[in-house]
Structure 1
Amino acid sequence: MTRAQHFGWFLARGFGPHGWGTPALDWNYRWTEPRLYQESARVLEQAGFDLLLIEDAPSLGSPDTIDLRVRQAFGGPKHDPLLLAPYLFEVTRHLGVVPTVNPAASLPYTAARQFATLQHLSGHRLGLNVVTDTGSARHFGDAPQLGHDAAYDRAEEWLAGLRQLWGSWDDGALIADPARGRYADGSRLRPTRHRGEHFAFDGPLNALPFGTGGEPVIASPGGSGRGLAFAGANSDVQLALSPMDERSVRAYRERVHTAAIEGGRRPDDVRILFALEPVIVASAEEAERIVAGSRDPDDDALRRIADKQSSDLETDLTSFDLDKPLGSSVFGAHVSQGSIRRLVGDRDIETTPLRVLLSDLARLGRLTDRTGFVGTADEFADYIEELGEWGNDGVLLWGDLHPVTLHRTLDELVPILRRRGILRTEYVPGGLRANLAAF
């Protein structure tokens, strides 16, 4: 029997210059205005997607590498996705919106109050993608930058503080009975006091409790042991990046499920959504042409990839000889190991020429032989169906939020997924948490 799965869209470029560097720029959308995102949010809801997850990074990186982030707009500028969320809630009724938030950037009381407000305004459709970016520390004070694991410790204290504040109204505290002339019972509000390693605050929270809709959904990325432990103990959705063969998918899911059990939760408390970037085309012949055309990228194609990787790695790859190895010493200690792995793959960075590394990233593969994600809508549906046979919870389709991209990806795919029973045809009441729990 075909297994229904959850679908989301991962706006991997964040709230930034959409269309830049592509022909879609000439559609004349203004990325700083809400219309582009509102139109796309309507499409995602019409398609039956559970959520839109919006990447963010509050920093342009170190002072020495800012130009790498902005020259092709890969790493900035970016506006705050939390402030975009109300515009998306306004034009949708069911779609969950999950902006990225950084515990270093806002104090627990302020964050708890803002998120509670949005949860009520949205009809319980808010999610929070909690990241532990340490490179932005200099923007939020003069405390030393935390290490990788310590940043997760801070995130756990921050999230526990939010939940403590959200729970500071006991059952029965809210009365709201005009006949009795009583709005609330102050004796049922907890005088919360927190003094921790990273934060200090008092409660109770000056915002209403959530009622049956529950608190905002918590999402998280991260594949390290500490990142998965955080997800297991805290998250409702895990953004998963993994090789997409059966063995790797099952192994990743097992690691998350083990982390959930160790965190005192059930394995199915965490919905694991693998991030994929499909290239949906009209025919198998077109797919073959696209894959064949990617096999021998020219220097211009490699330069475009180098520009993007330079932003992610905060290292100017365009300044190195394409025909010589990089060597691991070119990357500073602040550079994400995940970003380095995406560049290097299974190659030896000390001996592999940069041209080979960039060419590996440029090459595309076919869905039919599971070497990549270029294929027809039917072929992609076959793959999603196969993921379901492996016990998969769902996928996040990865791309920008330009309407051109959405229609190119979804127009043929959505009807096929629905006919096969993979994609929902209707929502349940109760908001994002209820729809994630529906199957």
Structure 2
Amino acid sequence: MSARRKLHIGMSLAPTWLSGDAWRRPDSNIEGLFSSDFYLDIARRSEAAHLDFVFCPDTLFLRTEVLEKGPGFSSLDPTMLLASIARETSRVGLLTTISTTFLPPYVVARQLQSLHWLSNGRAGWNIVTALAGHENFGLSAMPSAEERYERAAEFTEVVRLLWQSYPEEALMMDRANGRFADAALVRPIDHSGSHLKVKGPLNLPTYARAPIPLIQAGASPEGRNFAASVADAVFASTPDREAAIDLRRDLRRRAEGHGRSPDAINLMPGLSLYLAESRAEAFELFAETHTRADKARAFATIREMTGLDLSDWPLECKVTTAELPPPPEHPRSRTHADLLRRLIERDSPTVEELLWRPEVIGSAHWQVIGTIDDAFEAIRDWVEAGAIDGFIAVPGGSVSSLRLVFEALVPRLAEAGLFRTSYSGTTFADHLGE
């Protein structure tokens, strides 16, 4: 990374510090989970630390089978939540998640442009195709990955055309002559494609002072190609440095293939952080958080992703490449399946080690369990290796772990010249452009 470009850092508003048994801690504030104040505090701390953005992931379904032990996917609507936060902040970017598989593009274009106006240019769109939830939208099955990304590309183009259909320059606000707008500049898009038919124009003008950054989450071949064509940044599961290096190189190469600068796309993996004053405390925090982890579900995940049934294997037995059957044809997530197979081929972990891996128990995020020094050195190592352009902080285990990110880790990165010490702009696009 050149001296000119510093890390981009976002903070997840998904309360991962409440996952597992962490919500049972006295300081978890679990009672505030469905209150905007719960998240506003994090957004204000993120702004004080000069982070690029706060990020709301989302799902459009509820896993009731895990609800007994924790909140699971219970959540406020991310765009509405960020709209409530917009009024109480002034600089930090507001990144919402909206699926292209289930919702109509006209509604999405309007929601995002509304958030952009309400926040004075700080809205961002995390484009997802979703992995589940089809039953809630009248679909008998999830479309294939190829179909989802084909629709996503068309959907994104339609949203962008709708944003252009009512340009801000059309607004005249001419009281003297009674002309509100120049209607000749407002035009329908008349889109008719393979998946979508939308006339337009949008009934909201574009906030023209800053574009809405587009972020994409996914690392499948289809996801990579789609991201390389439109995204300003990519979130991806990269549990090891080499996976991140490979993905970043591939995204930059694909971006060039789409006629874009390789620097136009930033790789920002999730970074799961279990932080404490000592390594022993950090590992204790991690263990306490996962003390009631569902081993049967973990074994089911391994079986679905690799085809291996390890439920009756001794915990100390190593899992090697020789045991791997051919990859399943239709895993729930090909990205996670590939990462899990990659781990087994590279490390030959024991069954017990496999059960604790982020590829199995979580979203396959890059993970640091340790001190601020450990986290700082890991980040610096990945930066120097050319593995990342930034990361999404996903603190886990406790509120104290969350606050250590704001109060110690980010200042340490800024002191080392790896992150900004103040904002130079006011919009989300400004921050990503630094």
Bin for the TM-score computed over the shorter chain: 0.7 to 0.9
| Structure 1: distance between partners of 2:329 and 2:243 | 29
Are 2:50 and 1:53 equivalent residues in the alignment? no
Q: Structure 1, residues 297-318: CA drift from partner, whole Å, max 9, x if none?
A: 89x9575163774797897x99
Q: Which residue of 2 is the match for residue 431 of structure 1?
A: 427
Q: Structure 1, residues 300-347: CA drift from partner, whole Å, max 9, x if none?
A: 9575163774797897x9994463899879989452233445656532
Q: Are residues 224 and 362 of structure 1, via their aligned partners in 2, closer, same or farther at CA, if it must alter by over 3 Å?
A: closer
Aligned letter for 2:121? H
| Structure 2: distance between partners of 1:67 and 1:140 | 18
| Structure 1: distance between partners of 2:95 and 2:263 | 20
Q: Structure 1, residues 204-223: CA drift from partner, whole Å, max 9, x if none?
A: 11101221212x21111111
Report the Cα offset of residue 411 of structure 1: 1.8
Q: Are residues 157 and 109 of structure 1, via their aligned partners in 2, closer, same or farther at CA, if it must alter by over 3 Å?
A: same
Report the Cα offset of residue 399 of structure 1: 3.0
Query: For 1:279, what is the secondary structure of its paired residue?
Result: strand
Q: Which residue of 1 is the match for residue 86 of structure 2?
A: 89
Report the Cα offset of residue 272 of structure 1: 1.6
Report the Cα offset of residue 239 of structure 1: 0.8
Report the Cα offset of residue 9 of structure 1: 1.5
Query: For 1:37, what is the secondary structure of its paired residue?
Result: helix
Aligned letter for 1:131? V
Report the Cα offset of residue 48 of structure 1: 1.2
Q: Structure 1, residues 105-149: CA drift from partner, whole Å, max 9, x if none?
A: 321111111211111001111111111114222211246531011
Q: Which residue of 2 is the match for residue 257 of structure 1?
A: 252
Report the Cα offset of residue 183 of structure 1: 1.8
Candidates 265, 268, 272, aligned match of 1:270: 265
Contact 2:336 2:359 in 1 (8 A): no
Aligned letter for 1:200? K
Candidates 227, 230, 236, aligned match of 1:231: 227
Structure 2: tracts of 5 or more residues without a match: 361-365
Aligned letter for 1:125? R
Aligned letter for 1:85? L
Report the Cα offset of residue 436 of structure 1: 0.7
Query: For 1:338, what is the secondary structure of its paired residue?
Result: helix
For normalisation by structure 1, the TM-score amounts to 0.81
Aligned letter for 2:417? G
| Structure 2: distance between partners of 1:419 and 1:179 | 55
Contact 1:275 1:397 in 2 (8 A): yes
| Structure 2: distance between partners of 1:383 and 1:306 | 29
Q: Which residue of 2 is the match for residue 63 of structure 1?
A: none
| Structure 1: distance between partners of 2:427 and 2:406 | 23
| Structure 2: distance between partners of 1:83 and 1:302 | 34
Q: Are residues 43 and 150 of structure 1, via their aligned partners in 2, closer, same or farther at CA, if it must alter by over 3 Å?
A: same
Report the Cα offset of residue 395 of structure 1: 1.5
Q: Are residues 71 and 420 of structure 1, via their aligned partners in 2, closer, same or farther at CA, if it must alter by over 3 Å?
A: same
Candidates 318, 323, 327, aligned match of 2:314: 323
**Percent identity over paired residues:** 24
Q: Structure 1, residues 48-92: CA drift from partner, whole Å, max 9, x if none?
A: 1101122211123xxxxx443423336432332122111221221
| Structure 1: distance between partners of 2:77 and 2:274 | 28
Aligned letter for 2:314? D
Are 2:149 and 1:152 equivalent residues in the alignment? yes
Query: For 1:167, what is the secondary structure of its paired residue?
Result: helix
Aligned letter for 2:145? H
Report the Cα offset of residue 182 of structure 1: 1.9
Q: Which residue of 1 is the match for residue 114 of structure 2?
A: 117
Structure 1: tracts of 5 or more residues without a match: 61-65, 364-370
Aligned letter for 2:279? A
Contact 2:271 2:367 in 1 (8 A): no
Q: Which residue of 2 is the match for residue 306 of structure 1?
A: 295
Q: Which residue of 1 is the match for residue 375 of structure 2?
A: 380
Pairwise CA RMSD:
3.9
Q: Structure 1, residues 361-403: CA drift from partner, whole Å, max 9, x if none?
A: 599xxxxxxx962343244333333433344421211236975
Aligned letter for 2:190? R
Q: Are residues 35 and 218 of structure 1, via their aligned partners in 2, closer, same or farther at CA, if it must alter by over 3 Å?
A: same
Aligned letter for 1:37? Y
**Total equivalences in the alignment:** 417
Are 2:51 and 1:30 equivalent residues in the alignment? no
| Structure 2: distance between partners of 1:4 and 1:170 | 33
Q: Which residue of 1 is the match for residue 279 of structure 2?
A: 287
Q: Structure 1, residues 6-65: CA drift from partner, whole Å, max 9, x if none?
A: 1111345689989864415654642011111011111111111101122211123xxxxx
Structure 1 runs of 4+ aligned residues shifted over 6 Å read 14-19, 310-315, 324-332
Are 2:216 and 1:220 equivalent residues in the alignment? yes
Contact 2:331 2:337 in 1 (8 A): no
Candidates 196, 209, 224, aligned match of 2:206: 209
Aligned letter for 1:59? F
Q: Are residues 170 and 373 of structure 1, via their aligned partners in 2, closer, same or farther at CA, if it must alter by over 3 Å?
A: closer
Q: Are residues 205 and 18 of structure 1, via their aligned partners in 2, closer, same or farther at CA, if it must alter by over 3 Å?
A: farther
Contact 1:18 1:402 in 2 (8 A): no
Q: Which residue of 2 is the match for residue 357 of structure 1?
A: 354
| Structure 1: distance between partners of 2:398 and 2:112 | 26
Q: Which residue of 1 is the match for residue 412 of structure 2?
A: 416
Q: Are residues 194 and 287 of structure 1, via their aligned partners in 2, closer, same or farther at CA, if it must alter by over 3 Å?
A: same
